[in-house]
Structure 1
Amino acid sequence: MDAMNLRLIFVLTDLIAPLAVGYYLHQRHLVSDESINKLIRFNVVCIYTILALLSFWVLPISWNLLIVPLFGFLLILVPGAIGSLLFARHYASWLDRGAYVASAMLSNIGTLGGVCAFILYAEQGFAYTQIIGTCQNIMLVLVIFPMAQYCYIKQTHAIRKTNRFKSFCEMFFSLNQMSLLGIAVGLLFNAFGIARPAVLGTVFQGLVHIAAWIAMLPVGFLIDFGQVRRYERQVRSLTALRFVITPAIFGVLIYLFVSDPVVQGTLLICAFCPTAINAVLTARLYHLTTDLSVASFVITTAAFLPVIFPALFFLLR
């Protein structure tokens, strides 16, 4: 069995297994919400910063580093525009509309896409997904949070009495963005020709598995199948948007404008990624219809792991 086929096992060990463990822990009340929140923060602040540094340290510097962020922003804006114009406007409640658009815009690229790209393209694929994940973090603050607040205000006819400048600074300039520092340091070492010690390659591979577990376990912890069944019909269009419409559009764009096969494959994986957990967190933060976002996350993830990604694996390998 070659290295790529061996890494396919990670779908089970690094993605499905922690989801199951997280769900079990929640059902048995073995872990508190506070502990899960601390785990998420540790992963974002510490593990992903180290992974970003190590992967960008050896990433080939080329024109592809310019085109990847462009696709990163488009992968957020295009599904969001289509979802808003064609589907979300049919919802009577602005809380439903906001949750729908957030679920359309935010896809699980940084965690799920990162592991899947690592399976196919090792560290190079992982690094490209982190660039796109960084674009998503920027859009989360600049576009998605304001959109969510607008929907909340439209529904309640209220204005939140907060210091907007202070809120913006807290969201954008926070420890949650530490991976940007890791990217910058890694690129700096790369540009100055500083060789990465061989032992750090082994460290990187181990940290990928740890990061996947820490990221996916809280997701399993949040799953509520009762609410998922309630909103199943309402997210069918989101499923089509995630797995049919968006990949069709970006498949053409990738074919026309991207020549590097690793970048092509990584971008295609990102185009198929399911709804991100950040859509659920956004809905909670701005009092939108959280269960709609949860249903979208669970259903699209359940389709991606056993069906979509295995198909992509054999298509792209």
Structure 2
Amino acid sequence: MSETFYRILFIFIDVILPLAIGYYLHKYKIISVNVCNFLLKVNIRFIMIIIGLGSFWLIKIDHNLFLLAFVGIILISALPGILAYPYASWHLGKNIRNKGAYLLSSMLSNTGILGGLCAYIAMGQLAYAYVQVIGMVQNIFTLSFCFPLAEYFHQKATAGSKAKFQPHWRSILISWNQIGLLSMFVGAILNICEVPRPDVFDPIFNASVHLGAWFGILPVGYLLNFKAARLYKYIALAILPVRFIIIPVLAFIIATIFTDDKLLISVITLIGLCPIGINAIVVTQLYKLNTSIAEAIFLISTAIFIFIAYPIFLFLMV
């Protein structure tokens, strides 16, 4: 069978199917939100250990890591927030919880789970490993900037202009959710020391990619909120030109300027196309911002990515 058929099959099995099952489980109240949270924790705290270790054990440690770091921190995180700020100020400025949810959602893309899976389906293990590097530095940006920003909006919404911003750095920076970063560091050390990956590791790594997709995407399906999408669709639509035109075009241009590695160019372009991630919903819910805005942006941008942006990417870039 053709390679295109297998790509479509994997998209159905690892993206559309867990989304649909998650939504079905929620609609008929078969599992609780606590079960979803448990799946997310297992994915972050256990499966990501194998993926992080394997990814950094595989990639070549060279100057391209700086390019990937730039993509993760500036191009797909900080820049979308800057571009989204005028709309947030002009249209949402009077409502702090709405403004905070919109800005945070604009900066939090679905890189590690959906972007990584789609890179793996289209381009293989090395492409997936590159995405994990981008995802790692994006996590650093999320921890050091997005979480404090969410807390700032929460404090400002609660206490008004008299709020004194006091971020709780210990709880933000130190948690079990960061164990994946440690596994990446271990993988990088093994890579630098030229310790060969054992043959048995490849099937374990491949299985972890698919397990990570199910454990990460099924809870996403569970949290799909079509009512929120209808209510805030115009706010969600405002971020789409940034996410699906400006950022991917800049990603392609920057990648072609700084590298001639075709695989790396394709990976960076794909990550520039990634939709808003589930972490936007988690952060806005944690800090009591308008979670419905994050849900609307997540749902609409994910649908556009799966059914329009990713197929176009496969046709043009792979």
Does TM-score exceed 0.5, indicating one fold? yes
1:144 aligns with 2:146: yes
Give the residue type in structure 1 aligned to 2:69. P
Q: How far apart are the structure 1 equivalents of 2:16 and 2:192?
A: 37
Q: How far apart are the structure 2 equivalents of 1:59 and 1:8?
A: 26
Residue equivalent to 1:34: 34
Give the residue type in structure 1 aligned to 2:153. C
Q: TM-score, normalised by structure 1?
A: 0.94
Change (3 A) 1:294 1:312: same
Per the TM alignment, residue 2 of structure 1 is displaced from its structure 2 partner at its CA by 5.3
After the TM superposition, which of the residue ranges 154-163 and 266-275 deviates more from structure 2? Answer: 154-163
Change (3 A) 1:31 1:132: same
> Which string of whole-angstrom CA distances, capped at 9 and with x for unpartnered residues, describes residues 200-259 of structure 1?
111111111111000000001011211211111121111222111222222222222232
Instruction: Give the 3-state SS of the residue equivalent to 2:183 in structure 1.
Output: helix
Preserved contact between residue 22 and residue 219 of structure 1 (Cα < 8 Å): yes
Q: How far apart are the structure 2 equivalents of 1:256 and 1:87?
A: 32
Preserved contact between residue 119 and residue 267 of structure 2 (Cα < 8 Å): yes
Preserved contact between residue 155 and residue 164 of structure 2 (Cα < 8 Å): no
Q: How far apart are the structure 1 equivalents of 2:57 and 2:148?
A: 34
Preserved contact between residue 147 and residue 283 of structure 2 (Cα < 8 Å): yes
> Which string of whole-angstrom CA distances, capped at 9 and with x for unpartnered residues, describes residues 20-40 of structure 1?
000000011111111111111
Per the TM alignment, residue 278 of structure 1 is displaced from its structure 2 partner at its CA by 0.8
Q: How far apart are the structure 2 equivalents of 1:130 and 1:93?
A: 35
Give the residue type in structure 1 aligned to 2:239. L
Q: How far apart are the structure 1 equivalents of 2:230 and 2:243?
A: 19
Per the TM alignment, residue 297 of structure 1 is displaced from its structure 2 partner at its CA by 0.2
Q: How far apart are the structure 2 equivalents of 1:101 and 1:289?
A: 11
Change (3 A) 1:154 1:23: same
Residue equivalent to 1:58: 58
Per the TM alignment, residue 133 of structure 1 is displaced from its structure 2 partner at its CA by 1.1
Q: Which structure 2 residues correspond to residues 125-274 of structure 1 after superposition, within 5 A?
A: 125-157=127-159, 164=167, 167-274=168-275
Preserved contact between residue 80 and residue 102 of structure 1 (Cα < 8 Å): yes
Q: How far apart are the structure 2 equivalents of 1:252 and 1:72?
A: 15
Per the TM alignment, residue 87 of structure 1 is displaced from its structure 2 partner at its CA by 4.3
Q: Which structure 2 residues correspond to residues 15-164 of structure 1 after superposition, within 5 A?
A: 15-74=15-74, 75-91=76-92, 92-157=94-159, 164=167
Q: How far apart are the structure 2 equivalents of 1:255 and 1:93?
A: 41
Q: TM-score, normalised by structure 2?
A: 0.94
Per the TM alignment, residue 315 of structure 1 is displaced from its structure 2 partner at its CA by 1.3
Structure 2, unaligned runs of 5 or more: none
Give the residue type in structure 2 aligned to 1:137. N
Per the TM alignment, residue 188 of structure 1 is displaced from its structure 2 partner at its CA by 1.5
> Which string of whole-angstrom CA distances, capped at 9 and with x for unpartnered residues, describes residues 158-191 of structure 1?
5889984xx3222212111111111111111112
Preserved contact between residue 156 and residue 163 of structure 2 (Cα < 8 Å): no
1:302 aligns with 2:292: no
Instruction: Give the 3-state SS of the residue equivalent to 2:124 in structure 1.
Output: helix
User: Aligned residue pairs: how many?
Assistant: 315
Q: How far apart are the structure 1 equivalents of 2:261 and 2:174?
A: 34
Give the residue type in structure 2 aligned to 1:290. T
After the TM superposition, which of the residue ranges 103-112 and 139-148 deviates more from structure 2? Answer: 139-148
Give the residue type in structure 2 aligned to 1:153. Q
Instruction: Give the 3-state SS of the residue equivalent to 2:200 in structure 1.
Output: helix
Give the residue type in structure 2 aligned to 1:111. I
Preserved contact between residue 115 and residue 271 of structure 2 (Cα < 8 Å): yes
Q: How far apart are the structure 1 equivalents of 2:2 and 2:192?
A: 32
Q: How far apart are the structure 2 equivalents of 1:26 and 1:311?
A: 31
Give the residue type in structure 2 aligned to 1:217. L
Preserved contact between residue 150 and residue 284 of structure 2 (Cα < 8 Å): yes
CA RMSD after TM alignment: 1.9
Q: How far apart are the structure 2 equivalents of 1:269 and 1:295?
A: 22
> Which string of whole-angstrom CA distances, capped at 9 and with x for unpartnered residues, describes residues 84-143 of structure 1?
134444213111111111111000000000001111221111111111111121111211
Q: How far apart are the structure 2 equivalents of 1:5 and 1:56?
A: 30
Per the TM alignment, residue 72 of structure 1 is displaced from its structure 2 partner at its CA by 1.0
Structure 1, unaligned runs of 5 or more: none
Q: How far apart are the structure 1 equivalents of 2:38 and 2:204?
A: 23
Give the residue type in structure 2 aligned to 1:254. A
